[in-house]
Structures are given as C-alpha cells and as structure tokens.
Structure 1
Amino acid sequence: MITIEEQDRLTQIVHDLEANTAGEIVIVVANQAGGYRSIPLIWALLAALVTPWPLIWLTALSASRIFLIQLGVAIVLSFLLSLVNNRFALVPRVVKHARAHEAAHREFKSRGLIQTRERTGVLIYVAAAEHYAEIIADIGIAARVDQNVWNDIVHDLVTAIGEGRVAEGLDRAVQRTGSILAEHAPPRIDETNELPNRVIMI
C-alpha cells in the first residue's frame, strides 16, 4: 500500500506540521479492517436452507438423501467461499464500512489520542481493502471545527484510495489537517511531541 520511502515522507510531514500546533496527528493504515470469517458461513447456510426445496418438488429423493445433499452444499460452499478473495467479495459494503468505523474508533482510543494535554489529537485512519477512511478529532479540536471540514478531507482521501493513490491521498489529508490544527490549536510555549509521528501500518 505504502512504501517505506512514502512512510518516511509522511512521518516527516507530520513532524514538520506539529511544530506549528498543539495538536497531534496520528496516521493508521490497515490493509483491511476485519477478517469477515463469519460471512462465508452465513452465505453457505442460506444456500443450504434453499437447497432442499427444488429437490422436494422436482425429485423423488428420500428425506435422508436430501439432508445429505444439503449438508454437502453447506460444507463445500463454506470452504469455497472462505477463500480470501471470495470472502471479501461477499461482504456487503455497509458491513465493510461498519467494521472499518469500529476499527477506527478502537485505534483512536488505543493510540493515546484521548490522553493529550488539550485533547487536540486527530486520527487519520485508512482501511485500504474497504476503500474507507475516517478522521476522528478529539473533543478539544472537534468543538472548534465543523464536521463538514473533516468530511471534505475524507471524501478526497477515499477518492485517492479508490484510484490506488493511497500515499498521495494521505499526504494531502495530512497537510490539510495540519493547517486546520495550526489555525485552531496554536502551539504552546512549552510544546512537546506527545505521540509518535510514524505511520502505523497494521
């Protein structure tokens, strides 16, 4: 998704931008937000539930034979659909985005963004496989910036992800976030770097 050189560039950008603000920017890039292992099983069981009806209507097979066919359908489909590419394709978009949204909020809490002195931490989260991005601002900055501002940055970032320009999209999102933080959370005299600047890859 992002080369080592691109990660280093983003790290340097964050470092430079944070010199002009009391805010903290954390970038988390996930290959995908979840494994979705239950989805193939759900589809396989649904297919197994439907399987007996045409056999009952159109054949003279015994109930035990139909049950064995039904079981076989469930086993074979659950295996085939569990293959990574198949599994991901079966997940509805709304489920992907819900899972990515949950993952973003977990990362926000676990990366220390709620522990900054003035509560001005901002998470830029990307789940590449889901083509999903989210910006979460802590209460110290969220109260000062309209949500539509963040939504506009996210829209451009998601567009870049969809076009395979993850690093470029993140570069632009970080620059815009840094400008917002510089305006609404100027640096303190005793400013210190409270959180790591490196891009977190998971």
Structure 2
Amino acid sequence: MSLLNQQQLETISNAITEVEKQTDAELVTVLARKSDDYLYIPTLWAALIALLIPLVLRFTPFWLDGNELLWAQWSTFVVLACVFRIPFITLRLVPKSTKRWRAASLARRQFLENNLHCTKDQTGILIFVSEAEHYVEIIADRGISQKVDNLIWAKIIDDFTRQVKSGDTQAGFIKCIQQCGDLLKQHAPYTTEKNELPNHLVII
C-alpha cells in the first residue's frame, strides 16, 4: 500500500489551490488506508471450514470419535481464525461487493464529516480513495451535480482507479484534481474569492 510523504501531500494541496482559483467549487480530498477492518470475515470463514470437517472426513479413510472430532474442529477454527486475520489474506476473503459497500459508505460519511454539504452555494466536491479496496469515488453536492453528468465523473474515476491499483495514488490524485478542474471551470467558473474548506489531503 502506498504511503504519501510530506512533499507529495504538499503537491496535492497546491493542485487543489490552483484549481480553486478557476472555479467556485470547493474540493476536498480524502485518502483511507482501508474502509473497514473486516474482523468478522476471518471468523466466519474459519467457522465454516471447521464445521465442514466431519463431512470431509466421511469421504476419507480416517474417522474420529466425538471428543477427537470436537478437538479437531476447535483447533482448526482457532488456527484459521488467526491466519485469516493477516491483512493480506483477510482482504482476499472479503467479497468484492462487501468491499465496495463499505468503501461507498465511508465515502458518504466523509462527505458529511468534512462539511461538504455546508458550502454556501452547494458546490462541495469530495474526491475519495480507499487504497485497500482500490475504490475511488467523486461525490458532488447539488450545485455541481446538476451541471455535470455522472457519466463524466465515471470516466475520471475509472482512470484514477487504475492508478490506485498500480500503486500510483499520488499521481492519480493530481491527474484527477486537474481533470475535475477542467470540468469545473466550465460549469462552475470562478466568480468570487472564498475558501470554505481545507485544501490539504485528509488521511484516515
């Protein structure tokens, strides 16, 4: 998972500042390491496999009596629950739909927590990335969403997602911010000086 140093953070902040000189929109960028710990997933998988042990043994030459079988199931459960909690493994056990759902939920929570719904002209825009899930989303408040079609944002999101998957998150942010800026200066051009929301990258 990529880590951004201070220079990279400043580069992103400067890119936001430059874009906001050309538009009335307020951009906020958020980077999450991951959207959930998914701690229940290793437990579920370990329990499922442990419960299947009697069925597996029935098709082998080996069979255990009641106490031995119970011990085998408990041992399997404990060992797998620990192994499956290794982050690299955990993320591969989580269904893709679950990862997307958790990341999307966190994006919407960040939109509210960063007060993007409180700008004077409803021009807040969130650029959200969750690295572990390779998830990117752009959420625009009403003042922008009424002017820019979702299909346009989708193209920018697809480009950014590819860069996140390749581990180039910082460059992805810069390109995404610039692409958003090109759109916003057309649909929400600069009219007055304001800076209602912070320009730095929020890392959670």
Give the counterpart letter for 1:153 in structure 2: I
Q: What is aligned with 1:181?
A: 184
SS in structure 1 of the partner of residue 43 of structure 2: helix
Aligned pairs (5 A) from 1:140-155: 140-155=143-158
1:167 has 2:170 as partner: yes
Q: Give 5+ residue unaligned stretches, structure 2.
A: none
Q: Which amino acid in the other structure matches residue 200 of structure 1?
A: V
Any unmatched runs of 5+ in structure 1?
none
Is residue 2:73 matched to residue 1:55? no
Give the fraction of aligned pairs with identical amino acids, expressed as a percent.
Answer: 33
* 1:56 Cα deviation after fit: 4.5
Counterpart-to-counterpart distance in 2, 1:54 and 1:7: 53
From 93, 97, 101, the equivalent of 2:96 is 93
After superposition, give the CA deviation of every residue in 1:45-82 in whole Å (9 maximum; x if it has no partner).
Answer: 11011011233554442223212211211111111111
The equivalent residue for 2:31 is: 29
Q: Give the match's secondary structure for 1:140.
A: helix
Change (3 A) 1:60 1:201: closer
Counterpart for residue 15 of structure 1 = 17
Count residues in correspondence: 201
Q: Does 1:110 align with 2:116?
A: no
> Residue 161 of structure 1: CA displacement?
1.1
Partner of 1:78: 81
TM superposition shift of 1:94: 2.0
Q: Does 1:128 align with 2:121?
A: no
The 8 Å contact of residues 52 and 67 in structure 1, kept in 2 or not, is answered as no
Q: Classify the secondary structure of the residue corresponding to 1:48.
A: helix
Q: TM-score, normalised by structure 2?
A: 0.93
Query: Which whole-Å CA distance do the structure 2 matches of 1:82 and 1:13 have between them?
Result: 38
TM-fit CA distance, 1:19: 1.5
Match of 2:69 in 1: 66
Q: CA RMSD in A?
A: 1.4
Residue-by-residue CA offset, 1:65-116 (whole Å, 9 max, x unaligned): 2122112111111111112222122222222122111111111111010000
